[in-house]
A and B are shown apart, each in its own frame.
Chain A
Amino acid sequence: MGHKRRAWGAALAAMALLATSACGGDDGGDGGGSDVEVFTWWASGSEKAGLDALVAVFDEQNPDLKFINGSVAGGAGKDAKNVLASRLQQEDPPDTFQAHAGAELTDYINNGQIQDLTSMYDEEGWNDVFPETLIERLKQDGKIYSVPSNIHRANVVWANNAVLTDAGLDPKAKYASLDEWFAALDKVKAKGKVALSIATDWTQVHLLETVLLADLGEEAYNGLWDGSTDWSGDEVKAALEDYSKLLSYTNEDRQSLDWPDATQMVIDGEAGFNVMGDWAVAAFDENQKTLDTDYVAFPVPGTEGVFDFLADSFTLPVGAPNEDGTKAWLQTVASPEGQEAFNAAKGSIPANTEADTSAFGPYQQTAIEDYASDQIVSSLAHGAAVPISWLTDVTSAVAKFSANGDVDELQGDLADAAEKAAG
């Protein structure tokens, strides 16, 4: 009897655990030698289309390997990054994961979670096929840790031709500075339209970065990230004043929208202008709008000749279950075929200069030209310029500004964020 009772107790204790392990197993992880788990946050829209196209090339190049889709949707990559962080911490890495090229990789590198790919670059001759400007930004202490799949441009204004014409503006007009642009925004506003559409916090950070770039110029903008430009200085203050002014042209419901809603306002003729990265071109395509006749796209005034860049890239995690598989994936990502297929579907431009881009759309053609000729700077809002932690503080500061509109406080918060990041 006594044994029985004890057995009851033990059984009870074990019950929860037993019952749960019985229903486990649907969580991937049972990777055989041929599985390659690719972790991304590309789960919908043009991003998913791009991934699918890339996988098609991968399957063709590696018939023996099996692509396992490890995409985690939601939160513009934030949820994925949390899932990833805990998997890395528990030493259960995927075979490869997506990360924005640049400072976003810093944390992974410092924690010793991803492998140095410099020798692979040498073997594969990638140093010659990727533009030098890009390679430079991938390097950390002289080493390269990821393979870029695509390049996006952040500093692009999208405008609806009909709305502009209606407001008495020439859609083909160029604005040399923000001040000239303000005059145009005033005209659109006078027509009762939203002059500049914008969405939630991260799109505001996105706008802010382009304003900083416009007002400070390329060099001082770069200096913001290495400490050589003073966040508390008058130049930054003037830029923040301009940002504040730009925000006054925007829709009041910005906090409840995400970027497609804001871009859609331009497409639908509810708003005159929108500042968004060039992934927005996919939205215009979807709505059968033609560049130059229905809409125009041009660099944010004051940033002509500068390409505010961000890139997605793939890594080789320490302890990847199938390292050869990962390398095969990275080779596909880097290959001209992979880059063509992926970028044609996603709306970005190939990082590999050998990719054949003749079939790409008209906007992408201009972006390719600009990338080759422009000065390149790193995007703040998209993890190229600063590590995630710093970006978190910048986003909080910008979100707060959206609520209270206090420029001095914004500048103080941004300066604090920079100081905190510097340690």
Chain B
Amino acid sequence: MRRSWRTWAPGLILLLPSMVLIGIFVYGLIVANVQTSLTDQHTRVGPGNWAGLENYRTLFGDEDFRYGLRNLLYYTLAFLAGTLLIGFVWAWLLERGLWGEGFFRAVYLFPMAVSFIASGVVWRWLLNSAEGDRATGLNRGFDSLHLGFLSNEWWSNERWGILAIAVPAVWQLAGYVMALFLAGFRGIPEELREAARMDGASEWKLYRHVIFPQLSPVALSAIIIVGHMSLKVFDLIVAIAGDTNYTTKVPAIDLWTEYSRGDYAISSAIGTVLLVIVAVLIVPYLVYTFRQERRR
């Protein structure tokens, strides 16, 4: 850094276009979005007049929007718990290496390559809520396996419907979390295990006290990645339940509805709410990363 500007200036110049683009498309637009959300521009043609926090009051005063937020919370918790648990179990089953590992890993991971829209096609069929004679999908499968008690109305349930959407989400991302954990397992030096074994630690103790603690940074990473994906959920819901279904409402769906009817002020406000939620999760993480970088 103490070198002359002649040395580093070209680097800055090279980076400048990207900085400008990010400056406009990320930060500039966030500002523009917040601005619109503070006006009464409830039409497509602006500009509106200053309205202060009116739109936010409308949103948080609206029981249905709060229901969407609640859904988002449930979904995120289920998505996180599901992917972390299953991903971890898969990684654990595979980490010591066994014959066919590559095959298992490939199969577990493949849903990741598919778009939510494509997987939504099949999950819409699987999660069909008809029961009895008209049942198809999983409900029909349960019936023929004599597991009829598992049949349920899936995403049409008012209270728990959103959790049904988390099922396909977990299916798609669990393999990804597995890959993260697997890399974490493999990153643990062999000497550490050997040393513990020398000390006479049992296999379980080895995991409990030596290996698992080493994985917590991986878990943090996974939480950040899956968590912020989860907060943006939209495609999957649209593909499975459609964009007007009540039980699977989340803020991103509301934004689309409001945008479709031309209410720009409210849709901007919803976008800002989503940003704040994600920022609460991400900014501390980025600050932490930044400090780590500094320390290097």
* A residues apposed to B, CB below 8 Å: 5-6, 8-10, 12-13, 16, 75, 78, 81-82, 85, 89, 107, 111, 192, 194, 200-202, 251-253, 255-256, 270, 388-389, 392, 395-396, 399-400, 402-404
- Beta-carbon contact of A400 and B44 below 8 Å: no
- Beta-carbon contact of B244 and A9 below 8 Å: no
Question: Of all chain A residues, which has the CB nearest B254?
Answer: A396
Selected from A5, A12, A396, the residue in CB contact (under 8 A) with B244 is A396
Which residues from 240 to 296 on chain B have a C-beta closer than 8 Å to any C-beta of chain A? 241-247, 257, 259-263
Counting CB contacts under 8 A, is B100 at the interface?
A: no
In angstroms, Cα B128 to Cα A200, docked, is: 13
In angstroms, Cα B45 to Cα A200, docked, is: 31
A389/B263 contact (C-beta < 8 A), A9-B16, A252-B153 known: yes
Report 5 cross-chain contacts, Cβ distance below 8 Å, ordered by A residue.
A13-B16, A251-B130, A253-B156, A402-B156, A403-B161
Counting CB contacts under 8 A, is B83 at the interface?
A: no
In angstroms, Cα B135 to Cα A270, docked, is: 13
Question: Of all chain A residues, which has the CB nearest B161?
Answer: A403
A255/B245 contact (C-beta < 8 A), A6-B13, A9-B13 known: yes
- Beta-carbon contact of B44 and A89 below 8 Å: yes
Which residues from 13 to 39 on chain B have a C-beta closer than 8 Å to any C-beta of chain A? 13-14, 16-17, 20-21
Question: Of all chain A residues, which has the CB nearest B136?
Answer: A253
- Beta-carbon contact of A256 and B262 below 8 Å: no
Counting CB contacts under 8 A, is B230 at the interface?
A: no
In the bound complex, residues from chain A placing their C-beta under 8 Å from that of B244 are 200-202, 395-396, 399
Counting CB contacts under 8 A, is B131 at the interface?
A: yes
- Beta-carbon contact of A5 and B10 below 8 Å: yes
A107/B262 contact (C-beta < 8 A), A9-B13, A9-B17, A403-B158 known: yes
Counting CB contacts under 8 A, is B134 at the interface?
A: yes
In the bound complex, residues from chain A placing their C-beta under 8 Å from that of B260 are 78, 81-82, 392
- Beta-carbon contact of B130 and A252 below 8 Å: yes
In angstroms, Cα B10 to Cα A341, docked, is: 68
Shortest distance between the CB of A266 and any CB in chain B (Å): 14
Question: Of all chain B residues, which has the CB nearest A202?
Answer: B244
In the bound complex, residues from chain B placing their C-beta under 8 Å from that of A194 are 134
Interface residues on chain B, number (Cβ under 8 Å): 37
- Beta-carbon contact of A13 and B261 below 8 Å: no
Shortest distance between the CB of A142 and any CB in chain B (Å): 24
- Beta-carbon contact of A403 and B156 below 8 Å: yes
Question: Of all chain A residues, which has the CB nearest B238?
Answer: A75
Question: Of all chain A residues, which has the CB nearest B130?
Answer: A253
Question: Of all chain B residues, which has the CB nearest A391?
Answer: B261
- Beta-carbon contact of A400 and B14 below 8 Å: no
In the bound complex, residues from chain B placing their C-beta under 8 Å from that of A252 are 129-131, 153, 156
In the bound complex, residues from chain B placing their C-beta under 8 Å from that of A395 are 244
In the bound complex, residues from chain A placing their C-beta under 8 Å from that of B161 are 403
- Beta-carbon contact of A5 and B13 below 8 Å: yes
- Beta-carbon contact of B261 and A388 below 8 Å: yes
In angstroms, Cα B45 to Cα A16, docked, is: 29
Counting CB contacts under 8 A, is B119 at the interface?
A: no
- Beta-carbon contact of B14 and A12 below 8 Å: yes
In the bound complex, residues from chain A placing their C-beta under 8 Å from that of B262 are 85, 107, 388-389
Q: Which 10 A-B pairs have the closest CB atoms?
A: A13-B17, A253-B130, A400-B246, A399-B246, A403-B158, A201-B244, A392-B261, A389-B261, A403-B247, A403-B246
Question: Of all chain A residues, which has the CB nearest B16?
Answer: A9
Shortest distance between the CB of A197 and any CB in chain B (Å): 10
Given A81-B260, A192-B133, A256-B241, list of 14 further CB < 8 A pairs?
A10-B17, A13-B16, A13-B20, A89-B45, A200-B244, A252-B129, A252-B131, A252-B153, A253-B128, A255-B155, A388-B262, A389-B262, A396-B64, A404-B158
* B residues apposed to A, CB below 8 Å: 10, 13-14, 16-17, 20-21, 43-45, 64, 124, 128-131, 133-134, 153, 155-158, 161, 241-247, 257, 259-263
- Beta-carbon contact of B241 and A255 below 8 Å: yes
In the bound complex, residues from chain B placing their C-beta under 8 Å from that of A399 are 244-246
In the bound complex, residues from chain B placing their C-beta under 8 Å from that of A85 are 44, 262
In the bound complex, residues from chain A placing their C-beta under 8 Å from that of B157 are 403
Shortest distance between the CB of B130 and any CB in chain A (Å): 4
Question: Of all chain B residues, which has the CB nearest A204?
Answer: B244
- Beta-carbon contact of B10 and A111 below 8 Å: no
Selected from B13, B16, B64, B242, the residue in CB contact (under 8 A) with A400 is B64
In angstroms, Cα B155 to Cα A270, docked, is: 23
In the bound complex, residues from chain B placing their C-beta under 8 Å from that of A253 are 128-130, 134, 156
Shortest distance between the CB of B150 and any CB in chain A (Å): 16
In angstroms, Cα B158 to Cα A402, docked, is: 9
Question: Of all chain B residues, which has the CB nearest A110?
Answer: B43
In the bound complex, residues from chain A placing their C-beta under 8 Å from that of B133 are 192
Shortest distance between the CB of A88 and any CB in chain B (Å): 8
Question: Of all chain B residues, which has the CB nearest A81?
Answer: B260
Question: Of all chain B residues, which has the CB nearest A111?
Answer: B45
Selected from B124, B257, B259, the residue in CB contact (under 8 A) with A256 is B124
Shortest distance between the CB of A1 and any CB in chain B (Å): 9
In angstroms, Cα B45 to Cα A404, docked, is: 36
In the bound complex, residues from chain A placing their C-beta under 8 Å from that of B128 are 253, 256
Question: Of all chain B residues, which has the CB nearest A11?
Answer: B17
Shortest distance between the CB of B262 and any CB in chain A (Å): 6
Shortest distance between the CB of A257 and any CB in chain B (Å): 9
In angstroms, Cα B260 to Cα A256, docked, is: 21
In angstroms, Cα B261 to Cα A81, docked, is: 9
- Beta-carbon contact of A392 and B257 below 8 Å: yes
In the bound complex, residues from chain A placing their C-beta under 8 Å from that of B246 are 396, 399-400, 402-404
In the bound complex, residues from chain B placing their C-beta under 8 Å from that of A81 are 260
Question: Of all chain A residues, which has the CB nearest B129?
Answer: A253
In angstroms, Cα B240 to Cα A200, docked, is: 12
Q: Which of A107, A253, A399 has the most CB of B within 10 A?
A: A253
In the bound complex, residues from chain B placing their C-beta under 8 Å from that of A6 are 13
- Beta-carbon contact of B14 and A9 below 8 Å: yes
In the bound complex, residues from chain A placing their C-beta under 8 Å from that of B257 are 392, 396
Question: Of all chain A residues, which has the CB nearest B131?
Answer: A252
In the bound complex, residues from chain A placing their C-beta under 8 Å from that of B14 are 5, 8-9, 12
In the bound complex, residues from chain B placing their C-beta under 8 Å from that of A251 are 130, 134
Shortest distance between the CB of B192 and any CB in chain A (Å): 45
In the bound complex, residues from chain B placing their C-beta under 8 Å from that of A8 are 14
Question: Of all chain B residues, which has the CB nearest A75?
Answer: B243
In angstroms, Cα B245 to Cα A202, docked, is: 10
In angstroms, Cα B44 to Cα A111, docked, is: 9
A201/B134 contact (C-beta < 8 A), A78-B260, A82-B260 known: no
In angstroms, Cα B245 to Cα A192, docked, is: 27
